[in-house]
Homo-oligomer: A and B are copies of this chain.
Amino acid sequence: MKLHEYQAKDIFGKSGIPIPNGQLVTAVDQATKATQIISGAPWVVKAQVHAGGRGKGGGVRVVHYPYEVATATEDLLGKPLVTKQTGPEGVIVNQVLIEEGVEIDREFYLSMVIDRSSAMPAMIFSQAGGMEIEEVASKTPELILKEYIDPAVGWMPHQARNLIYGIKPPLSLGPVKTLMSIMANLYRVFTTLDCSLVEINPLAITKEGKVIALDAKMSVDPNALFRQKELLHFDDPREKDPLELMAEKYSLNYIRLDGNVGAMVNGAGLAMATMDVIKMAGAEPANFLDVGGGASESMITKGVEIILKDRRVKAILVNIFGGILRCDVLARGVVAAAKKGMIRLPLIVRLKGTNVEEGREILRNSDLQFFVAKDLAEAAELVAKQVS
């Protein structure tokens, strides 16, 4: 679950990680008032959307007069912001963060993630802050330092020193101490809130020598939300694709893509592989949809409905390897969707495994028009033929 910058900063502020003074606004008149509370000029007006690349997309404005704060806010609010991560239609900006501007002396990068290979959390630091870390990684990898954290001992002060004393030219004692405490606090935030990512870029030193988190990215492990209930209110459904949101409600794992062949599969790996097969047959997958092992008839019906709500879809491929999910349940769900008059597109069905005969029988006995594929290779061919 992604958090907005202002939400992450709120957590930082309460956790001993210095942040600029700022205020969230959802209307232009609030923006004008905000300038009276937040010291400036300059002010920074930042669109609050989950997509990255806001800066280059025009979602971050530095302004010098109160009326400019209002203008910038008006410019952003309610309008789509297009970044390299949003796609051409962009995302609607619903909230804007207004912050005091600071005079930056140096910019660092600081983040925490889970490192898979070592099975430990890792703290990542670079003195080349302010730019994208992927860029630093490819151009100057030696400037990226990592420390892995053993859960038995937690974050240790020497690890902070390993990161900080590599900075050239070296920092003076004040910033060293603040950085050490920021790292310790970041570790605490990461572990106590079950984060999967926390990123501060840039982590700036101001001209006055203060260390401050100018940006904040935070993602929480969705598997841990059962014990992070107080974070649930940070979830912002407006940021999600409406079809994905609907799928989430029915415990379906749906991701919208750009193609024209809808796919319904059981199992994430098989669903990915099915997308690949579609592509290889010369068509484009319109979605990833894993109905999972425990799908009921009504969930299948709902899945068909969600696939079809995407107007770009020209054909549907159902690929089920019956295991826990039985083929007859799948068939009933599809037939129920057809009865509701939803299916007016070519349907290619490939069934295998538990109760496969029963499933085929149910499909045959329905009014549904569909093609049966004996295996995956044939299914792909049939799909390609339908959309070509």
Contact = CB atoms under 8 A, between A and B. Distances in A.
Interface of A: 150-153
A151 B152 CA distance: 5
A153 B151 CA distance: 8
A151 B150 CA distance: 11
Contacts of A153: 151
4 contacts: A150-B152, A151-B152, A151-B153, A152-B152
A81 B150 CA distance: 50
The copy count of this chain in the complex is 2
A164 to B, nearest CB: 23
Nearest to A153: B151
* Closest CB pairs A-B (n = 3): A152-B152, A151-B152, A150-B152
A250 to B, nearest CB: 32
Nearest to A152: B152
Contacts of A152: 150-152
A18 to B, nearest CB: 24
A153 B153 CA distance: 10
A153 B152 CA distance: 7
A161 to B, nearest CB: 20
Nearest to A150: B152
Contacts of A150: 152
A151 to B, nearest CB: 5
A150 B152 CA distance: 8
A83 B5 CA distance: 64
A6 to B, nearest CB: 33
A121 to B, nearest CB: 13
Nearest to A151: B152
A150 B153 CA distance: 11
Contacts of A151: 152-153
A206 to B, nearest CB: 32
A156 to B, nearest CB: 13
A119 to B, nearest CB: 11
A61 to B, nearest CB: 46
A360 to B, nearest CB: 46
A152 B152 CA distance: 4
A152 B151 CA distance: 5
A355 to B, nearest CB: 37
A152 to B, nearest CB: 4
A263 B152 CA distance: 43
A153 to B, nearest CB: 8
A143 to B, nearest CB: 31
A42 B150 CA distance: 52
A181 to B, nearest CB: 16
A294 to B, nearest CB: 26
A146 to B, nearest CB: 20
A193 B152 CA distance: 18
